[in-house]
Amino acid sequence: FSKLLISLRIDDAVDAIPVHFANGFWGVLAVGLFANGKLMAIAGYNSEKEGLFYEWGGGDNDWNLFLAQISSLAFIIGWVTCLMTPFFIILNVAGLFRVDALEEEVGLDISHHRGEAYDISGAAKKEDVEELMETRASRHGKVEVPKEVAQAADETA
């Protein structure tokens, strides 16, 4: 799923779409396939309808639960699309949807939290951190570089 997003040029740095959408989709669909009536009754749920595989195994051909799960997925996708599309459009028009290239290069951990989240060798360069702080200062007023950030940048230089 991650490779599909890359080929579609969708930027999802933390793989939120494969984790939440794909796995959530599968979780809802799996109920329609694998719901076991005996186990649902033990858990206190309505056990009249079983998943498609258990229905076939019992000689039945009742697609009701599976179709209900498909309908639920269609509703969820429609609801989220209708609710979130306007927000994404407004953020994009306002220029708040993405960070600028320098902030992306330096890392949001430094630009927003004033420190590196991970101790890795490809850390931010001192001149990039200084340029970012100057850029932010021009937009937001004077911003001091915390001494921890300056020390971290000095150590990596």
Give the single-character DSSP code of 94: T
Give the single-character DSSP code of 45: S
pLDDT digits (tens, 9 = 90+) for 65-75: 999 999 999 99
Under 8 Å between Cβ of 65 and 52: yes
**Distances in Å between the alpha carbon of 53 and those of 6, 32, 38, 139?**
34, 9, 14, 60
Tell me: pLDDT of 122 over 60: no
Q: Which residues contact 66 (CB under 8 A, 6 or more apart)?
A: 32, 33, 51, 52
Tell me: pLDDT of 58 over 80: no
**How many CA atoms are closer than 13 Å to the CA of 18, on its beta-carbon side?**
12
Give 47's pLDDT tier (boundaries 50, 70, 90). confident
Q: At 148, list the tokens.
A: 């921890």
pTM for the whole thing?
0.64
Tell me: pLDDT of 113 over 70: no
Tell me: pLDDT of 22 over 80: yes
Question: What is the arithmetic mean of pLDDT over 113-127?
Answer: 63
Q: At 36, list the tokens.
A: 């076991």
Q: What's the distance, CA 56 to chain centroid?
A: 36
> Any idea what the Cα angle at residue 71 is, between residues 70 and 74, rounded to 5°?
90
Number of H helices, E strands in the chain: 10, 0
Work out the percent of the chain whose per-residue pLDDT is above 70: 68
Tell me: pLDDT of 15 over 90: no
